[in-house]
């Protein structure tokens, strides 16, 4: 396909205050290439939730964003502990986040449901002890 822009980000697990910088950067790049505000907001929210999850539940990882004329694809790959039960994790309100994460404003168990809600396609591949790769697509 013509005109695919690919962006990659290494997500560091060390600094919670910087979590979200990649999503912020993607948001401004999408604005520059003229994607509609509604589509940008969907991508920004879904990616930000995923980025935060990589920092609080895994040990960081890598995010690739592919922008084509028809869709935006986000691939979030981490080498964290994996998700034992995807169906349970997808339920609104399910969270294993410790109190310390909750005091930072996360751990409501709403991230994965939000990612599903704001994207047109979402796929989770996970292996315990190996890692999780989440692929999301927003049509534009």
Partner 1 sequence: MTVRDAMNVLGARVLVGEENLDREVRSACGSDMMSDVLAFSKDHSILLTGLCNPQVIRTAEMLDIVCIIFVRGKKPDNTILEMAKERDLVVLETGHRMFSSCGMLYAAGLHGGAI
Ligand X SMILES: Nc1ncnc2c1ncn2[C@@H]1O[C@H](COP(=O)(O)OP(=O)(O)OP(=O)(O)O)[C@@H](O)[C@H]1O
Decide if residue 117 touches partner 1 (CB under 8 A).
Answer: yes
Residue 94 interacting partner from Mg ion, partner 1, ligand X, none (CB closer than 5 to 8 Å by kind): ligand X
| DSSP-assigned states of every residue in 18-76 | GTTHHHHHHHHHHHHTT--HHHHHHHHHHHHHHHHHHHHTSS-EEEEEEE-SSEEEEEE
Member of 44, 72, 95, 119 binding ligand X (CB under 6 A): 95
Is 41 or 62 the residue whose CB approaches partner 1 more closely? 41
Q: Is 108 in the site for partner 1 (CB under 8 A)?
A: yes
Cβ neighbours around 81 below 10 Å, total: 17
* In the complex, least distance from residue 129 CB atom to partner 1, rounded to whole angstroms: 26
User: CB within 8 A of 96, min separation 6: which ones?
Assistant: 57
Residue 38: CB atoms within 10 Å: 9
Which positions lie near ligand X, rule CB under 6 A? 49, 53-54, 57-58, 78, 80-81, 83, 89, 94-97, 106-112, 132
Which positions lie near Mg ion, rule CB under 5 A? 53, 111
């Amino acid at each position: 396909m013509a005109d695919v822009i690919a962006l990659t980000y290494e997500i560091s697990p060390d600094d919670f205050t910087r979590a979200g910088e990649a999503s912020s950067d993607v948001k401004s790049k999408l604005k520059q290439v003229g994607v509609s505000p509604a589509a940008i907001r969907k991508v920004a929210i879904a990616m930000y939730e995923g980025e935060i999850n990589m920092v609080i539940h895994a040990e960081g990882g890598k995010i690739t964003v592919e922008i084509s004329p028809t869709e935006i694809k986000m691939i979030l790959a981490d080498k964290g502990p994996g998700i034992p039960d995807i169906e349970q994790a997808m339920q609104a309100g399910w969270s294993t986040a410790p109190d310390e994460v909750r005091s930072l404003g996360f751990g409501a168990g709403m991230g994965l449901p939000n990612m599903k809600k704001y994207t047109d396609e979402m796929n989770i591949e996970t292996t315990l002890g190996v890692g999780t790769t989440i692929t999301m697509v927003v049509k534009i």
